[in-house]
């Protein structure tokens, strides 16, 4: 990577500026935080004496001009959106009263984490880089763009980018990294102490705090305490669950033997009224396989019945000192903490996990292999062993039996148990006090032909509505990215596969509204492989597209299905959109909004291209003009996209 040398800093520029290296990150799933921590570790290894690593939502953006050198690590979510932890910071940077010299004297570097399968690849990092330059800041080197599609994952771009960053910084000011050789050729002969310590409590100390769970409120409270105690989840969780839902229906929608398993889950609250609106999403905290939790505890020689609290070590960086342990006075059972906050049987550990393991390996051949995995030379082999094979924390620990990691390191390094988001596929008008989900049970095959299943989808699929003692589903409800349309707004809905989930809710809602008032027409484009195996909700769509239903041509709407595998040439939703070019343009001219949901890979780009062709053909303008027109629709809130990988 070609480095762009730092422009020499004048003494006047440096007046009043903090002489430190500040690393700010915005993370959605933990990858950006992991990269930021690695930047901090390497800077410390290089002898950087003044350093701070901090989440963007814990930093006051108005104080940015007082900094001298900032490294930004930013993930991109959804369709080019910044992570939740970046939104306040980003809104501040967009203020119009910030002039072109507001950040004069600030030197920065940006590393983005994204997936080139998405339409707006690394958009958040690209926009941040441009805005910082517009405000007068000077970049140290070209922005780095990590890509999940790279054969080595985002580290394929991160490793050379970091090396270029350190060399450039050291060239400009050798005093910043006085031990640069430790970065270039790490000796791996010393390990920092973990950031957090475990406090163990006798059972008689905790009886008043952690007695048996007597009601739903207690259960919600235990979940919140377990997760608030997790260092990895600090500042990135939503408190106790809004609801504890019971599975009342678990119905397979797909048929055939192609291995695809799409299900409808119907959930109900036990002791409250569930409140949501069309377009909302349900956030679910999955349960873990108890056998995996027990095996992890046994492998790590932990006492599952002990009670713990977790506290930061004194003297850590401000980012750790700001850790607020809301449960420090309320110890929690170790097994409960592991099962609710640590993903031991599904998530793959990160690279630093292998480095720390190497210090605790008593078998020499294991130590050598772990050191190799943690080195730049072993990056590709580690990626093949770990990420490509979806190795779990438990599997990695079992592969290196001589390693005995202290629990302090495990709570810091084991990936947190993450919640999963699902579009709600029901209307509260049609199904009061119920939440419906349309979920594809994730199943993949690794390069070594090992079957892997998605944690949350498989857990939900395994819940039996007929068992009275079945596990409850901790859930949160949030606004989705698709806005709630008024009854008189015409809609063009495009949702292949499980992308139909939110649109089932929209159509149910329109049907209920249509009973009391006239509603605007809806065009719905659905796609699947063939009508016999995965034509999801077939009877539902057909019922609403006939007898003057809300999808019927008599009401000005229409329902069009693309069966991709029923003919020699594959047919997708974009082909059906082109076939209905006149109808699509007619509705767009009537003020319709476009809603697109489904897979994040090629589908959004292919559909957007088809819509551009429709606009160009029907209006007689160029493709470029049509693309600009769709952009104006997007800015006006009339072209909305919700996708997932």
Alpha carbon distance 420, 346 (integer Å):
13
Helix (H), strand (E), coil (C) string for 458-524 = HHHHCCCCCCCCCCCEEEEEEECCCCCCCCCCCEEEECCHHHHHHHHHHHHHHHHHCCCCCCCCEEE
pLDDT tens by residue, 411-449: 999 999 999 999 999 999 999 999 999 999 999 999 999
Please report the pLDDT score of residue 214 as a whole number: 56
Distances from the Cα of 259 to the Cα of 207, 254, 500, angstroms = 48, 10, 20
3-class state of residue 420 by DSSP? strand
3-class state of residue 441 by DSSP? coil
Rounded to the nearest 5°, which phi and psi values hold at 89? -60, -45
Please report the pLDDT score of residue 238 as a whole number: 63
Alpha carbon distance 342, 227 (integer Å):
9
CA torsion through residues 124, 413, 288, 417, sign: negative
Q: Which residues are annotated as a binding site for FAD?
A: 420-423, 454-457, 644
Alpha carbon distance 584, 589 (integer Å):
9
Q: What is the mean pLDDT of each run of 10 residues along the chain (645 residues)?
A: 43 57 88 89 86 91 93 86 89 93 94 84 94 95 90 86 91 79 72 88 64 70 89 74 95 83 95 92 96 97 94 58 50 94 94 94 96 89 92 97 96 93 96 96 91 94 88 93 92 96 97 93 95 93 92 94 90 96 95 91 90 96 95 93 81
Alpha carbon distance 589, 574 (integer Å):
19
Q: Which residues are annotated as a binding site for NADP(+)?
A: 498, 564-565, 570-574, 606
Please report the pLDDT score of residue 62 as a whole number: 94
Q: Which residues are annotated as a binding site for FMN?
A: 27-32, 75-78, 148
Q: Which residues contact 292 (CB under 8 A, 6 or more apart)?
A: 344, 345, 392, 394
Within 135-259, residue ranges assigned H as helices are 155-172, 180-184, 203-206, 216-228
Give the residue among 131, 72, 66 at the shortest CA–CA distance from 100. 131
Tokens in use for 87?
């939104």
Pairing of strands 262-269, 196-201: unpaired
> Domain spans of the chain?
11-184, 491-644
| β-sheet bridge partners, residue 309 | 199
Give the residue among 46, 68, 64 at the shortest CA–CA distance from 56. 64
State how far Cα 487 lies from the chain centre: 32
Residues 619 and 586: beta-carbon distance below 8 Å: no
Please report the pLDDT score of residue 171 as a whole number: 83
- CB-CB neighbours of 333 under 10 Å: 19
Protein fold of 11-184: Rossmann fold (3.40.50)
3-class state of residue 333 by DSSP? strand
- CB-CB neighbours of 569 under 10 Å: 6
Fold match between domain 11-184 and domain 491-644? yes
Give the residue among 575, 576, 546 at the shortest CA–CA distance from 560. 576
CA torsion through residues 27, 30, 34, 40, sign: positive
Alpha carbon distance 581, 411 (integer Å):
55
Radius of gyration for the alpha carbons in the chain, expressed in angstroms and rounded: 27
Residues 286 and 313: beta-carbon distance below 8 Å: no
73-111 exposure pattern, b = at least 16 Cβ within 10 A, e = fewer: bbbbbbbbbbbebbeebbeebeeeebeeebbebbbbbbb
3-class state of residue 144 by DSSP? strand
Alpha carbon distance 551, 354 (integer Å):
55
Q: Which residues are annotated as a binding site?
A: 27-32, 75-78, 148, 420-423, 454-457, 498, 564-565, 570-574, 606, 644
Tokens in use for 630?
């769709």
576 CB burial (10 A radius; 0-12, 13-18, 19+): buried
Report which secondary-structure segment, H or E, holds 280: strand 280-284
Distances from the Cα of 154 to the Cα of 21, 31, 114, 159, angstroms = 23, 9, 8, 9
| β-sheet bridge partners, residue 52 | 22
3-class state of residue 613 by DSSP? helix
Please report the pLDDT score of residue 148 as a whole number: 84
Please report the pLDDT score of residue 321 as a whole number: 41
State how far Cα 217 lies from the chain centre: 28
Alpha carbon distance 444, 419 (integer Å):
20
pLDDT tens by residue, 65-87: 999 899 999 998 876 788 888 99
pLDDT tens by residue, 489-527: 999 999 999 999 999 999 999 999 999 999 999 999 999
Give the residue among 392, 387, 400 at the shortest CA–CA distance from 360. 400
Give the residue among 201, 222, 245 at the shortest CA–CA distance from 340. 222
Write out the DSSP string of 342-383.
B--SSSPPPHHHHHHHHHTB-SHHHHHHHHHHHSGGGHHHHH
Alpha carbon distance 299, 268 (integer Å):
37
Q: Which CATH entry fits the domain spanning 491-644: 3.90.1170.50, 2.20.25.90, 3.30.1060.10, 3.40.50.80?
A: 3.40.50.80
Please report the pLDDT score of residue 4 as a whole number: 43
193-223 exposure pattern, b = at least 16 Cβ within 10 A, e = fewer: ebbbbbeeeeeeebeeebeeeeebeebbbbb
| β-sheet bridge partners, residue 416 | 342
- CB-CB neighbours of 589 under 10 Å: 11
Q: Which residue has the tokens 């302090």?
A: 408
Alpha carbon distance 352, 358 (integer Å):
10
């Amino acid at each position: 990577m070609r480095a762009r040398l730092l422009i020499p800093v004048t003494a006047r520029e440096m007046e009043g500026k903090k002489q430190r290296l500040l690393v700010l990150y915005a993370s959605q799933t933990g990858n950006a935080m992991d990269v930021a921590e690695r930047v901090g570790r390497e800077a410390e290894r290089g002898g950087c004496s003044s350093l701070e690593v901090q989440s963007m939502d814990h930093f006051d953006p108005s104080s940015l001009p007082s900094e001298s050198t900032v490294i930004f690590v930013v993930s991109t979510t959804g369709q080019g959106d910044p992570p939740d932890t970046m939104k306040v910071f980003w809104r501040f940077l967009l203020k119009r009263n910030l002039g072109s010299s507001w950040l004069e004297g600030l030197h920065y570097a940006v590393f983005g984490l994204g997936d080139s399968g998405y339409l707006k690849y690394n958009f958040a990092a690209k926009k941040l880089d441009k805005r910082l330059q517009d405000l007068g800041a000077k970049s140290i080197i070209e922005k780095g763009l990590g890509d999940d599609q790279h054969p080595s994952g985002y580290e394929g771009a991160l490793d050379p980018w970091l090396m270029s960053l350190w060399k450039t910084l050291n060239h400009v000011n050798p005093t910043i990294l006085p031990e640069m050789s430790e970065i270039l050729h790490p000796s791996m002969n010393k390990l920092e102490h973990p950031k957090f310590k475990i406090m163990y409590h006798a059972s008689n100390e905790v009886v008043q705090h952690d007695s048996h769970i007597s009601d739903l409120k207690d259960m919600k409270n235990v979940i919140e305490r377990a997760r608030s105690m997790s260092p990895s989840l600090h500042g990135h969780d939503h408190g106790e669950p809004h609801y504890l839902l019971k599975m009342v229906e678990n119905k397979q929608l797909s048929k055939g033997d192609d291995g695809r398993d799409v299900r409808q889950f119907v959930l109900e609250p036990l002791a409250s009224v569930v409140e949501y609106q069309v377009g909302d999403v349900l956030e679910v905290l999955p349960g873990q396989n108890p056998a995996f939790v027990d095996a992890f505890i046994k492998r790590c020689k932990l006492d599952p019945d002990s009670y713990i609290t977790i506290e930061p070590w004194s003297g850590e960086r401000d980012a750790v000192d700001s850790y607020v342990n809301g449960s420090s006075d309320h110890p929690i059972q170790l097994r409960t903490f592991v099962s609710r906050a640590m993903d031991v049987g599904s998530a793959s550990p990160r690279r630093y996990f292998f480095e720390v393991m190497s210090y605790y390996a008593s078998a020499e051949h294991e130590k050598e292999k772990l050191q190799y995995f943690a080195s730049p030379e072993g990056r590709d082999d580690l990626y093949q062993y770990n990420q490509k094979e979806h190795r779990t924390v438990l599997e990695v620990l079992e592969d290196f039996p001589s390693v005995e990691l202290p629990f302090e390191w495990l709570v810091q390094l084991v990936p947190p148990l993450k919640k999963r988001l699902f579009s709600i596929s029901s209307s509260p008008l049609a199904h009061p006090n119920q939440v419906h989900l349309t979920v594809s049970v994730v199943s993949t095959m690794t390069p070594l032909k090992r079957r892997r299943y998605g944690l949350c989808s498989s857990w939900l699929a395994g819940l039996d509505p007929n068992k009275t003692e079945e596990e409850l589903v901790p859930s949160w409800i949030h606004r989705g990215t698709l806005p709630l349309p008024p009854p008189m707004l015409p809609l063009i809905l495009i949702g292949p596969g499980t992308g139909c989930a939110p649109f089932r809710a929209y159509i149910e809602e329109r049907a209920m509204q249509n009973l009391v008032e006239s509603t605007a027409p809806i065009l719905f484009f659905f796609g699947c492989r063939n009508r016999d195996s995965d034509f999801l909700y077939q009877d539902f769509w057909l019922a609403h597209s006939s007898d003057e239903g809300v999808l019927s041509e008599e009401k000005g709407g229409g329902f069009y299905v693309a069966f991709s595998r029923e003919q020699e040439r594959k047919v997708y939703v974009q082909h059906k959109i082109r076939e209905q070019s006149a109808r699509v343009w007619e509705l767009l001219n009537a003020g319709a909004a476009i809603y697109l949901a489904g897979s994040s890979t090629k589908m959004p780009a292919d559909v957007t291209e088809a819509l551009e062709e429709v606009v160009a053909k029907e209006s007689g303008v160029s493709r470029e003009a049509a693309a600009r027109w769709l952009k104006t629709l997007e800015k006006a809130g009339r072209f909305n996209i919700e996708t997932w990988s």
